[in-house]
Amino acid sequence: MVVLRDVSYSKAKGMVENYLKGHENAYMYEVSNDLGLDLKTVHEIVEELMKEGRVK
């Protein structure tokens, strides 16, 4: 069971970006589980970071 954290979108975005710097080949469900963030939110953030060119 994963306990979801209640954080702002901007904080979650920073968390995801930092996580992906150290885990470039991570699956979105891994990011979600490891950070305790909602999978849908992680997906939205990753899409946004990709459009911004901040992650691959």
Q: For the chain, what are the domain ranges?
A: 9-51
Whether 23 has a pLDDT exceeding 90, the answer reads: yes
If pLDDT is split at 50, 70 and 90, which confidence band does 1 have? low
Q: What is the pLDDT of residue 9?
A: 95
Q: What is the CA radius of gyration of the chain?
A: 10
Question: What's the whole-number mean pLDDT along residues 23-50?
Answer: 95
Question: What's the whole-number mean pLDDT along residues 12-24?
Answer: 96
Contact in structure between 13 and 50 (CB atoms under 8 Å): no
Contact in structure between 39 and 32 (CB atoms under 8 Å): yes
If pLDDT is split at 50, 70 and 90, which confidence band does 10 have? very high
Cα–Cα distance for residue pair 23/31, rounded to 1 Å: 9
The pTM of the full predicted model, rounded to 2 decimals, is: 0.90
